[in-house]
Chains A and B, each alone.
Chain A
Amino acid sequence: METHPIPTTKTVTTKQSVSSYVSTTNACKLCKPMGACLAFRGVEGAIPFLHGSQGCATYMRRYIISHFREPMDIASSSLGEKHAVYGGEANLKQGLVNVMKKYGAGLVGIATTCLTETIGDDVPMILKAFRQEWASREGSSDLPFLVNVSTPSYAGTHMEGFHAAVRAMADQLARRDEAHDGVNLFPGFVSPADLRYLKEIMADFGLRTILLPDYSDTLDGPALEDYEKIPRGGTSVRDLVSMGGSRATIELGRTLSPRRWAGTQPGPTLTARDGNSSGAQAGPTVMVREIDTAGTLLEARFGVPLHGIGLPIGLRESDRFFEILQDLAGFCMPEKHALERGRLLDAFVDGHKVVFGKRAVVYGEEDLVVGLTAFLCEIGVKPVLCASGGVGNGFREAIEAVTRDILPDPPEVREGVDFYEIAEEARELAPDLLVGHSKGYHLARRWNIPLIRVGFPIHDRFGGQRTLHLGYRGALALLDRLINELLERKQEDSPVGYGYL
């Protein structure tokens, strides 16, 4: 990949970056326990369990079901008024017994809610007592693995809940009994289609992979004759336990460990098939590592080398991912993927005029926005506003890192914003298109511009769970959709109505 950045001294705008209003209107984020539930759904035999009042589980189930169009059972300790006063311990224990009995869960992922965090339930203590009581019971069966994560919805978004649950599983389950040649892959919150594609890529590189979470089957499963109490698929608990002995970890998401990314340029130069990794050219990758993700934890505790990179969206971020795989596998990119990369470049060329100079507003989860922004500026689209509901994760630095050598004018970056502010900001920027999830549709409608639906939730289109974002294949799929959307607009707006474009 050759880029010829226009030299610029501009930095990302320093206009106030966080919300200027007290009230929130149409949030661009979801709550923390929801992310944890999604992550737990990606473990084999696991059931997500919310320690809180009944409504949380029900609301989240409905929200998740409407996107994936799959059953999503979330158990709840169903706390009532007296539990809020006396504590939720008894209900949590009873709920666990019921879930074990009826779901036969191999793992119960227990996430707290604002209710139980505020009344001060000490979930690790309760679980400890529960394990002891269970062990002393006559003829009691083996307990499932119980993983707990603290997810008060007043501190962080669904993405923080998602990563916290992945980290909790690494923290509470992983051991290093023996070193093995497996690779941990923490993909972040991507679609089932993305997960399937990642597994395909890893297999093509001959890498035995522990993908966490893996809800590629559990949230996009086949038609069944019998309702499965817990849908098939997901990362096996045995694999989770062995994560401490893996030869490496790949963790996707530039904002996961903010300071790690300060000053890092995307995309080492990778030409298809040269096979000589040049990761060292990528700039200083390690400055300070905080032990705040599953990957950093496994590295600190067991010495599993961590490769922390952005979500592989677009050419450069995908190159970076494939480069790591080449290193780990010890051989060059298999021809199948080299060809996909080639086709992507071919499509970049074929379609470049349609997209050049189009102004895009990109919104949603921080890492997804960073990846999409990296991709959009590669094809000549101009991201004018990058916005997220989350705060304080190095979003700005990550956007800067993926745009500064390719975009003459850096985009506005706004964190902690809602759709009211996104609208306010975007109106002045006169965007040609929106890139994000369904909840921005009202803006697309108001301004009569296309919305390229990506990420979660997609509640107003079919097949959201099968949207491919990652890798060369995902970039090509996004490019096709983007170009076709623009062509359709052009065709519809044309007085001539050319049938040959």
Chain B
Amino acid sequence: MKKILYLILICIIIFGCRHKSAETGKQAKQDIPGEPAYGDALITGSIGEPSILIPMLAGDSASHEIAGLIFNGLVKYDTDLSVIGDLAESWDISPDGLVITFHLRKGVKWFDGVEFTADDIMFGYKTIINEKTPTAYQEDYLQVNKAEVPDKYTFRVTYKKPFAPALTSWGALVILPKHLLEGKDITKTDFGRNPTGMGPYKLRTWTSGQSLILESNRDYFQGRPYIDRYIYKIIPDPATMFLELQAGELDLMGLTPIQYTKQTETAYFRENFQKFRYPVFAYTYLGFNLKYPLFEDKRVRQAIAYAIDKKEIVDVVLFGLGKPATGPYVPDTWPYNPDVKTYEYDLQKARDLLREAGWKDTDGDGILDKGGRPFAFTILTNMGNSLRMNTATIIQWKLVKIGIKVDIRVLEWSTFVNEFIDKRRFQAVILGWSIGLDPDQYDIWHSGKTKEKEFNFVSYKNPEVDSLLEKGRRTFNIEERKKAYFKIQEILAEELPYIFLYVPDATPVVHARFKGIKPSPIGISYNLYRWNVPKSLQRHASMEP
């Protein structure tokens, strides 16, 4: 025993400061020119295992990630966030915005060789609105008044009211092969573990708890993908995953801020990996319970905003890998309004506003008070997210400087949501929202969405915002939508139901031998089927069917 311990100790001392250099022999240089070639495999790691590969039934991101490689939608987002055709070649929207007619691409085939037609969309649509289908994505499709299939390559839907997010709802969620599933209960078939799609990759083997192996669809309608195999390894522990990356067993994973800025800044990483960075469609915020008397006064919320240095939070918590947020949209996307009121860090202004609102430190204990009540509140956040916990700590430290006492309470996620958010038993929270690519945020800001389990849990109420939200989702005209969402951001920035804190960056790392990666606002994986490895750099034996 003793010897082993000594051995370990000695090894750690000897090797502790050395980084693995064996890999460099494989000459994975970034700038070796080479023709795109077919072959090789991309190995990626995931903390979670997909549960089911039918998009409309899946709830977790791992399932959607894999299903996204197997199924395509009618439309998709282009790299500049405009909507372009995918399985639909084009579409027409009637002048009143009620009827959308999709014209489908011809000659697209399911993996089993049967042609994809409008009947498959109709079948998927009927399945998703079926009472018996356990799906969470029904809402958008229930707005449809009538769906028709005028011919094999045309699909037409009529809405009750114009509904702007409708167009993009015809993505990959609703397309299922009718010839395989008609008359069957999709929750009872093995389709979810052995799906037939028409996307760039098809599932070859799925070993529970270990890996999923996908192989390229050689008849993919946009051309055969260059990389032959996509291997999805399940590694539940993030630290282990990073070690596997260092050992050369993984080609792609998302890095944490500290891994991105510190642990991968080595010669080994620079030589063997390419790092990417782009904003995630998400933001983190400090939300106030507006029903709570302390936060009823707008000036109080503004004072808190002045006392928080967003830049500092980004620098300290995210190691600079993010941007301060000014509203609920990602900077540099079309709904984002760059000219809203911002609150530059200014403690004096914060103090002035609080004094105006009647808060003074009368008893000299360093904490402001009014009517005998000290200014103290609790920020709740969820366990397991160290970024949010660190953010809360920084805010706590800043607010005490202007005489506000803050407590932080960290709760397990389910408890947090069920017992505190849903029951409105909170004063302030630090949480985040993922933002859909469509700017509609009706559910978060509309005053009609404040019931239990609904998402305007801060109880924000503003008739002007309500009508702008309504306007924004009822027109397809981008300029008009833009106007509505710009105005909403101005109002939100003035009234501050949330203090928008930051938009974090996604920081994936990919092995250097992969070429053809074009970073864009929607990430890097949108053109996975174009990624390739020059023949001389290929690492895994090519696979002939």
Partners in one complex: no
A residues with CB within 8 A of B: none
B residues with CB within 8 A of A: none
